[in-house]
Structure 1
């Protein structure tokens, strides 16, 4: 089977599966390009409310394909070669990592840039940069500290020591641990919960968080007001109130295709 990133739909959830189990789901350059493209295609599709990224056959990803790294030694530190692993944090659709087995090197970077992470007890994480003389990039230095705090992020990256699902959960890195190989099941359950609420609000929450992280709390508070005004003009609030009064589950419309443009303009 040719190494690939497979894309499937489960209702409003787009599942992207890293599929190169012969090399523990290591990324070739072509696979990384495919992942980048599939993330953008999912983000542009208004019917996709959540993206789940997972790996095939008991692995998440061991990082870059070492055969290619030997041919192109700068791959590990090249921002273009690593752009796909940062992409989940740059798009507005929420992205969940379902981690079973190793998430090492670039695979670990990919999980850092997802919004949420679930894992099995077999999951192992490792930022290997310090062990091989490469500064971790693609969000490792800019995002990890916001997820787990300075001391934990520094410990993980400065020692390059692997850590398991239990420590990841204890540090707040993963939201839940699942038995057997059921990380994808757990991720889908979480994805369906997110997909059932207002997609416009979900988009605004991610955009607001990212704006605050980049520009500080004061800018974040101003962004809250602008985003709130933007979403109030959409039908989501009316549907939410009506469904509550009518004692039924809300049926929120897909976010309008123009929402991403409006959000970007509101935060400019």
Structure 2
């Protein structure tokens, strides 16, 4: 699986029970690189495997989020991080899992966006659960302007996350969207003053971290698994996910703490 703890283009930091992953290639507007993809994927795995982690925040360094694919590398100018090629050979889907196309962490993922979040950046965004952006952030799927296809999942997921007319306009025009417009069409949930997206995302993470972790993970799983079901199927699946939570020690602790007027102490049991 390789060493964890980040790479030269992806830093990993703990903020209490939150794992913060930072895309760290500011000289290239945090364009995707092999070291970045490997670091992201390892971060998702770390969060899945470590029960002490209750939430994840994904952000970018240098006042930007992610400008998408490295077009210079695509044009044949070489991609940094050749030492990670063995990871791709061992798992040819690693890059898609890193971009949250083929992988969904069981912990909530909060995006903290500043600056450019375009092309592959907007595709990664669609794999996150809660989204906060600075007021000067820019979004968009620019692929068609370069004769490319947004193959990170956007033609499938975007129309399920925002109204189809907005999804098609974003996909077919390749134009930029301001944070205010992205919020208006439902792509993001919060617009905050520039430079405070990470702070706002961490505040949301803290609220999540204070909740019962088994309940949080079950709720997230239920929302996604029921998305492709009929209402009747979804309600049946919800009961299967939800009823076992009531039998946990954490559920009993939540009720006890409420009665005793204190904060609950959850133990994932």
TM range (shorter): 0.7 to 0.9
2:152 to 108, 129, 138: 138
Residue 230 of structure 1 pairs with residue 244 of structure 2: yes
Distance of aligned partners of 1:134 and 1:214 in 2 relative to their CA distance in 1, 3 Å threshold: farther
Residue 44 of structure 2: aligned partner: 39
SS in 1 for 2:100: helix
Which contiguous aligned blocks of 4+ residues in structure 1 show a shift greater than 6 angstroms? none
Residue 24 of structure 1: aligned partner: 29
TM-score (ref. length: structure 2): 0.87
Inter-partner Cα distance in structure 2 for 1:138 and 1:193? 30
Residue 96 of structure 1: aligned partner: 110
Residue 246 of structure 1: aligned partner: 260
SS in 2 for 1:241: helix
Q: Which runs of 5+ in 1 are unaligned?
A: 257-268
2:57 to 52, 61, 64: 52
* Cα displacement string for residues 117-170 of structure 1 (whole angstroms, at most 9, x for unaligned residues): 100011100111222222322231222222212111111111111101101111
SS in 2 for 1:86: coil
* Cα displacement string for residues 221-258 of structure 1 (whole angstroms, at most 9, x for unaligned residues): 111111112212211211111111111122222x36xx
> Contact between 2:114 and 2:194, CA under 8 Å: does it hold in 1?
no
Q: What are the within-5 Å matches in structure 2 for residues 43-192 of structure 1? A: 43-71=48-76, 81-86=95-100, 90-192=104-206
Distance of aligned partners of 1:155 and 1:139 in 2 relative to their CA distance in 1, 3 Å threshold: same
* Cα displacement string for residues 70-109 of structure 1 (whole angstroms, at most 9, x for unaligned residues): 1289xxxx96643311258612111011000001111111
Inter-partner Cα distance in structure 1 for 2:70 and 2:144? 18
> Contact between 2:116 and 2:138, CA under 8 Å: does it hold in 1?
yes
Inter-partner Cα distance in structure 1 for 2:94 and 2:8? 20
Task: Supply the RMSD in Å over aligned alpha carbons.
Answer: 2.0
Inter-partner Cα distance in structure 1 for 2:253 and 2:55? 21
TM-score (ref. length: structure 1): 0.87
Inter-partner Cα distance in structure 1 for 2:262 and 2:56? 27
Residue 221 of structure 2: aligned partner: 207
SS in 1 for 2:58: strand
Distance of aligned partners of 1:87 and 1:12 in 2 relative to their CA distance in 1, 3 Å threshold: farther
> Contact between 1:117 and 1:174, CA under 8 Å: does it hold in 2?
yes
Q: Which runs of 5+ in 2 are unaligned?
A: 1-6, 79-91
Inter-partner Cα distance in structure 2 for 1:252 and 1:175? 28
SS in 2 for 1:113: coil
Q: What are the within-5 Å matches in structure 2 for residues 255-266 of structure 1? A: 255=268
